Amino acid sequence: MPKRARRIGNIDEMILSLYSRGMTTRDIEAHLREVYGVNASYNS
């Protein structure tokens, strides 16, 4: 497992699911921070 990686399940699928339900990337980022304590960045 890469350094700093965490096992929090299939997070990619969860993010896609939330996005497809109409949540904004800002909403998803706030959700991840609240539920998992994860800071996410969507910069490309």
> For residue range 1-44, what is the model confidence (pLDDT) as tens digits?
565 566 666 788 888 999 999 999 999 989 888 988 877 665 54
pLDDT score, position 36: 80
pLDDT score, position 4: 58
Q: Give this prediction's pTM.
A: 0.60
Torsion, Cα 14 16 18 20, to 10 degrees, reads -150
Domain chopping of the chain, boundaries: 10-37
Residue 23 CB contacts under 8 Å (≥ 6 apart), including other chains: 31
pLDDT score, position 5: 60
pLDDT score, position 18: 92
